[in-house]
Structure 1
Amino acid sequence: KRIQVVGPKKEFNHVVDLLYHEGTIHLEDISQCISPEEIHLSTVEREKTVEVAEILSRISGILATLPKIPSDSAAQAAIELELQGKTRDEIIRQAKGVIRDLESVTKDLATKKGDLRLSITSLDRYAKILNIIQPLERELPVLENYEVTILLIQKQYENVLDLVRQEMEKITGNRFEMSSTSVDEETLATLMIFHKRYSQQVHSFIYSVNVNEVRLPQEYMGKPFYEMFAQIETDKLQKTEEIKSIDENLAGLSTTWYQELVMLKKTFEDISEELEQVNKFGHSEFTFVVMGWIPKKFLNRMRETITKAYGDRVVIEELNTSSEDMEKAPTFYDNPRWIRPFEFVMQLVTPPRYKEIDPSPILAIFFPIFFGLMVGDIGYGLVILVFALILRKKLKTIEFVRNLTDILIISSVPTIIFGFLFGEFFGDFGEIMGWIHPVHFLGVTWNRLEAIIPMLIFAIALGVIHIFLGLIIGIINEITRKNKKHISEKFGMLLALSGLIAILALSLELTPAWTFYPTIVMIIAALLLIIYGAGAMGPMEIMSSVGNILSYARLMAIGLASVILAFVANKLGGEIEVLAVGILVAVLLHALNIVLAMFSPSIHSVRLHLVEFFSKLPITADDMTSAGLNCC
């Protein structure tokens, strides 16, 4: 339902907070809903949005500077409770006070720490270079009143040293020393000693010829190498102690402020999200207006909540909607609990429009079937089930993990069922022990290592059903869009594939001969419909759809690879004479196979839906999934 919420401006912030925590309205931008001629509206709280974003950025910067410490749930809960009892302006004042106390201190400490680390890196570099050129010390004169500089030159440009030597002779009147040694296979280190009176001219020249110069700090000048090394170690130790002291200061600040900063960051993220939605609101001198969409099932509850809080001061009005308005309505998934985890996969594709068929139930049915068919082992199914249950319990607060584990839990059920059909319990271990055997059904013993052709036929038959469902849903959804050409194309594709299957059945003598001519008529009609809907090149898509169906052969191939690895694990483990080693080898190989079984079948099941199935559905340019103010 499309609604409009109107109330006195003084209640604006409280109503926004209520709507935010209810989280059931998908907002529309007010400027696109009501023209200025109807009511004088203006965007609200833009300055507040900028202020909140700045505070959030500064708090994040402080947190990035402080060392992380373990979360204290009790302390954070107390801080959250305190913040909930304050108005937004009070929270902003509190945050500004924290920033005022911490930002400059942490920034100065972090800057100083960075400078010290850079200095230590430079000292290590000096030590490395000095260590390389130390053998030249015997060739050098006494360094008093002399300056030492080191040039690093790639060996392929070694001839530049002749130019340097010639220029140094001119600058110093040949009063300098110059020696070179190899740093590595590609680099030469050249040490030059000259009187300090020539320092400016020498460095200007070196800069002009773009030679990499390592200049020793002034305090190292005029000292023997052993004194330089001692000075470097002393300086490094001093700077390391300073860094340690800074870390202690930062740790102390973190102990005092970290929990509050974390909760302030979370609070301001919520405020920022709220204000992002608030900027879609409008107001006149005395009134505010909110417009948006709400699922019909939540409308009465929202009315009751608003009435209870504000009486008749705030009104929710249900707006009349045209067919054009309904085309812009956001998508709200309202599925049974067992389907909801698969809505996570639906985020990878464009959601259906309002009144179109939601393919989530098809995904929730076929994904576990595909997964179970590929894994098809009772033991593996039980391990995956237990693993998913434990992981869900440990990480139930993380929505992403919760959805994935729910999908694995659901998919483990057909895995166990297909395991009974194939007679597999950790490969052929159950059969060896006499616990279970492959089922004989429809004239086939469903041992996957032997029934390869029946498995291939079964996989492709599933593909036919899956693709046909996609085309049927696509046709129905195109009917809601009133797109005649797309309806024609998809219906023609359905007829064409049916005709090809009928011809295959005729060639295998599975259908009577008299069906040949109706089949030819059906294929001709299909071609005409496809050409009308997709143009002259449209019939080429028939082969693409055939390829889509044949792609389901991977269900058999991946399942066969899995069962072969399981059988290898049992055989290899059984042939090792030392029992403990054999069991360990078998367990490790089965563990590897189970890990692969959780990933590879999941990826291929998703691929069969995204590439094969969803390609038969209408494609929408705009993503209008309803998330409400918080989460619908």
Structure 2
Amino acid sequence: MILPMARVEILGPRDLLPRTLEILQAQGVLELRAPRAAAPGVAPLRPAEPVPDAAGRQARLADALARIDALAARLGPPHAAAATACTVLPAPGTEALVARLAALAEELDGLEARRAALAEERVATERFSDLVVALAPLRHGLEAAAEPELHGLVLRTDPAALRLLEAEVARITAGTAELQSRALDAERTGILIAVPRAHAKAVAALLYERGVDEVRLPAAYAGRRLVDVLLLLAARARALPGEIAQLDAERAALAAEWAPALAHARGEAEAARDQLEAAGRCGQTRFAFVAAGYMPVERVPALLAAARGVLGDRVAVSARPPEPGEWHEVPVVLRNRRWIRPFELLLALVPLPRYGSLDPTPWLALTFPLFFGLVLGDLAFGAAGIAVALVLRRRGTGGALGRDVAWIALWCSVSAALFGAVFGEALGELGAHVGIHPILLDRRRAILALLWLAVGVGGAHVALGMVLGVVSALRGGHVREALARAAKLGVLASAAVGGLAAVGAIPRVALTPAAVAGGGALIAAVLAEGPLAALELVLGVGNVLSYARLMALGLASVMLAEVANGIASGLRPAALGLAIAVLLHAVNFTLGLLSPAIAALRLHYVEFFEKFYDPGGAPFRPFARPA
């Protein structure tokens, strides 16, 4: 159902507007709308003036939100095992908050820089270790007093390039450097360059200019034997993971301390920003303010009590039902019973119904599974669907949305299983081998009866839509439209009775009264709505015939099952026939999930909804604190 709404107006002294907005935001039940123009003789309303320095405050709040979001993204969620003590941040929009956030950012920068350095050192250490192992047999003869720096290279084996590199290094270092090489394999050569500290920068520049990927050992290892360097690197490699883990623990503790405070500060900043924006949707006179909007009727007493408890008699709160002339702007809240509510998902592809019209969700909950089962109509497929839906719902797959989809799938599968029992089908004719026989009809053979069943279901569905259209028109005060719809319903009902009498399904004596009643209803429809009423009646007959697609899709499903069974019994070798049959049944099951759902939705959206559905409703967006 569409929840009844109330038009609420709050009147009070201008100085109470900020406090009133705080109450409304805390209650979170009123969708603010601009107040209506004042009646003649009443002081005119104008938009409420913003608080002093509103633009500056909004800018500070926006800056605070940007800083908070950036820091929260960098910190990530707090680890469950981290410390739970949290800090308290200053009020949003203040310089104190900006200073605290800047200090946190600086502390986080330091942690990230230290961890990045350690991570870089870890990668470099691994590369150093690999290269030192490869070059360990090489030695250099430079004196320790020269503070030699070691450069390790791994190049493609090329004697000419090696001689050129050696010549360049000797030229730059005036022959004081040593270059030694060792073949690592058939394609690579390891090179060790020992350079006195005085010429180290020049050699590094040479290697950079030539695009040589070097591994330069840290200065702490200068002058040491490569075997000693390897031992030092191994020790450092063992220490680095612990140091990185310590920094990660510090970061986790920082997240645990700050993440809740940042979340709270963000909520406060958003709330303050929303209050500033909400003030612009209120009106004021010289001495008073007016805040107005829509809210569910059931929540009005709680709002009255909250306003009275905080502001006493200084504000007046009035509530009234919306007038039909304003229904087009009233937001819509759907409220259905728990077992019906998941079917509201089926309205996601169409706009919400307009306020004051009818909510089709209860009828969808009844007829959508009915159409689905009429098409699929297989006991085995229905049982499989029930099992899958129950498992998914029990596991909570997909969260609340997934549970709702599983609930719809469950009832569609129940319907498919029931129709499978009615038609005597379980994977086609295989059900007959285990004692399953048709209760109502065998749709594999009674095709004409199945067609009449589908058309009969369609006629009842369209008639239901027309009845709902009459009710909707009466609720909206459109009496002439209600009479026209009732008359067209009478014409279709008379045509149905006449058709049944013509084919002998009912006594032929009903044919004449049906024709007379239908003619009178047609005249009434034309008088009430004009000549187009006759054209709409023809379209209505077409709507009913559209339900024949339920028969066609159902026959396609059962015929595919028959093909699969025939292949399983006739193809040799038997294993191949069985494999193909299982594949075809799987395809049939997949198509059985999609085709009935699409066909049922199409019949509801086109044939059913057009008889009564009044789209154009806006979702309810109350002025509330951020979630």
Residue in structure 2 matched with residue 498 of structure 1 by the alignment? 493
Contact 1:478 1:486 in 2 (8 A): yes
| Aligned partner of residue 293 in structure 1, secondary structure | strand
Q: Is residue 547 of structure 2 the alignment partner of residue 546 of structure 1? A: no
Q: 1:480 to 1:319 in 2, by over 3 A?
A: closer
Contact 1:27 1:291 in 2 (8 A): yes
In 2, Cα distance between equivalents of 1:307 and 1:335: 31
Q: 1:96 to 1:495 in 2, by over 3 A?
A: farther
Residue in structure 1 matched with residue 466 of structure 2 by the alignment? 471
Contact 1:467 1:549 in 2 (8 A): yes
Q: 1:342 to 1:280 in 2, by over 3 A?
A: farther
| Aligned partner of residue 450 in structure 1, secondary structure | coil
| Aligned partner of residue 482 in structure 1, secondary structure | coil
In 2, Cα distance between equivalents of 1:429 and 1:233: 77
In 2, Cα distance between equivalents of 1:585 and 1:423: 23
Alignment of 1:189-204 (within 5 A): none
Residue in structure 1 matched with residue 439 of structure 2 by the alignment? 440
Give a deviation string over 1:320-347, Cα, whole Å, max 9, x none. 7655456754333232112212223234
In 2, Cα distance between equivalents of 1:417 and 1:334: 29
In the TM superposition, residue 98 of structure 1 has moved relative to its aligned partner by: 6.4
In 1, Cα distance between equivalents of 2:62 and 2:102: 14
Residue in structure 2 matched with residue 415 of structure 1 by the alignment? 416
> Letter of the aligned partner of 1:363 in structure 2?
L
In 1, Cα distance between equivalents of 2:592 and 2:82: 40
Identity of matched residues, %: 27
Give a deviation string over 1:158-195, Cα, whole Å, max 9, x none. xxxxxxxxxxxxxxxxxxxxxxxxxxxxxxxxxxxxxx
Alignment of 1:374-453 (within 5 A): 374-392=375-393, 398-432=399-433, 434=434, 436-441=435-440, 446-453=441-448
Q: 1:490 to 1:309 in 2, by over 3 A?
A: same
> Letter of the aligned partner of 2:383 in structure 1?
L
Give the alignment partner of residue 29 of structure 1, picking from 7, 20, 34.
34
Number of aligned residue pairs: give it.
485
Q: What TM-score comes out, normalization by structure 2 length?
A: 0.62
Residue in structure 1 matched with residue 177 of structure 2 by the alignment? none
Q: Is residue 622 of structure 2 the alignment partner of residue 623 of structure 1? A: no
In 1, Cα distance between equivalents of 2:210 and 2:524: 84
Give the alignment partner of residue 89 of structure 1, picking from 68, 90, 93.
93
Q: Is residue 608 of structure 2 the alignment partner of residue 613 of structure 1? A: yes
Shifted more, 461-470 versus 404-413: the winner is: 404-413
In 2, Cα distance between equivalents of 1:93 and 1:611: 56
Contact 1:487 1:533 in 2 (8 A): no
Q: 1:271 to 1:401 in 2, by over 3 A?
A: farther
Query: Structure 1: which 5+ residue stretches go unaligned?
Result: 110-229, 239-247
In 2, Cα distance between equivalents of 1:263 and 1:388: 39
In 1, Cα distance between equivalents of 2:365 and 2:96: 45
In 2, Cα distance between equivalents of 1:14 and 1:82: 27
In the TM superposition, residue 21 of structure 1 has moved relative to its aligned partner by: 5.7
Residue in structure 2 matched with residue 4 of structure 1 by the alignment? 9
Q: 1:574 to 1:517 in 2, by over 3 A?
A: closer
Alignment of 1:141-180 (within 5 A): none
Q: 1:577 to 1:510 in 2, by over 3 A?
A: closer
Contact 1:374 1:558 in 2 (8 A): yes
Shifted more, 304-313 versus 53-62: the winner is: 53-62
Shifted more, 394-403 versus 291-300: the winner is: 394-403
In 2, Cα distance between equivalents of 1:262 and 1:295: 30
> Letter of the aligned partner of 2:432 in structure 1?
E
Alignment of 1:276-295 (within 5 A): 279-282=280-283, 289-295=290-296
In the TM superposition, residue 406 of structure 1 has moved relative to its aligned partner by: 2.5
In 1, Cα distance between equivalents of 2:581 and 2:350: 40
Give the alignment partner of residue 453 of structure 2, picking from 450, 458, 470.
458
Q: 1:425 to 1:311 in 2, by over 3 A?
A: farther
Q: 1:34 to 1:293 in 2, by over 3 A?
A: farther
Q: Which has the larger radius of gyration?
A: 2
Contact 2:57 2:93 in 1 (8 A): no
In 2, Cα distance between equivalents of 1:464 and 1:597: 24
> What root-mean-square deviation, in Å, do the aligned CA atoms of Structure 1 and Structure 2 show?
4.9
In 1, Cα distance between equivalents of 2:423 and 2:44: 70
Q: 1:305 to 1:515 in 2, by over 3 A?
A: same
Shifted more, 578-587 versus 362-371: the winner is: 578-587
Shifted more, 92-101 versus 554-563: the winner is: 92-101
> Letter of the aligned partner of 1:529 in structure 2?
A
In the TM superposition, residue 485 of structure 1 has moved relative to its aligned partner by: 4.3
In 2, Cα distance between equivalents of 1:538 and 1:287: 53
Residue in structure 1 matched with residue 301 of structure 2 by the alignment? 300
In 1, Cα distance between equivalents of 2:211 and 2:524: 86
Shifted more, 86-95 versus 313-322: the winner is: 86-95
In 2, Cα distance between equivalents of 1:498 and 1:578: 57
Residue in structure 2 matched with residue 518 of structure 1 by the alignment? 513
In the TM superposition, residue 365 of structure 1 has moved relative to its aligned partner by: 0.8
> Letter of the aligned partner of 1:26 in structure 2?
E
Give a deviation string over 1:514-548, Cα, whole Å, max 9, x none. 43433333333333333334433432222211111
In 2, Cα distance between equivalents of 1:32 and 1:394: 54
> Letter of the aligned partner of 2:387 in structure 1?
V
Contact 2:421 2:439 in 1 (8 A): no
Residue in structure 2 matched with residue 487 of structure 1 by the alignment? 482
Residue in structure 1 matched with residue 373 of structure 2 by the alignment? 372
Residue in structure 1 matched with residue 504 of structure 2 by the alignment? 509
Contact 2:7 2:321 in 1 (8 A): yes
In the TM superposition, residue 549 of structure 1 has moved relative to its aligned partner by: 0.6
> Letter of the aligned partner of 1:548 in structure 2?
N
Residue in structure 2 matched with residue 243 of structure 1 by the alignment? none
Give a deviation string over 1:553-602, Cα, whole Å, max 9, x none. 11122122222333334443455667776665444433333332222212
Contact 1:485 1:532 in 2 (8 A): no
| Aligned partner of residue 8 in structure 2, secondary structure | strand
Contact 1:56 1:269 in 2 (8 A): no
Give a deviation string over 1:351-406, Cα, whole Å, max 9, x none. 44444433221121111111121122233223323333444455567554343233
Q: 1:58 to 1:584 in 2, by over 3 A?
A: farther
Q: 1:573 to 1:273 in 2, by over 3 A?
A: farther
In 1, Cα distance between equivalents of 2:82 and 2:591: 40
> Letter of the aligned partner of 2:29 in structure 1?
T
Contact 2:488 2:525 in 1 (8 A): yes
Q: 1:582 to 1:512 in 2, by over 3 A?
A: closer
Contact 1:478 1:618 in 2 (8 A): no
Q: 1:477 to 1:293 in 2, by over 3 A?
A: same
In the TM superposition, residue 421 of structure 1 has moved relative to its aligned partner by: 1.4
| Aligned partner of residue 294 in structure 1, secondary structure | strand
In 1, Cα distance between equivalents of 2:14 and 2:335: 34
In 1, Cα distance between equivalents of 2:30 and 2:446: 54
In 2, Cα distance between equivalents of 1:293 and 1:280: 13
Q: 1:562 to 1:262 in 2, by over 3 A?
A: farther
Query: Structure 2: which 5+ residue stretches go unaligned?
Result: 1-5, 114-206, 216-243
Contact 1:58 1:99 in 2 (8 A): no
Shifted more, 581-590 versus 521-530: the winner is: 581-590
Residue in structure 2 matched with residue 42 of structure 1 by the alignment? 48
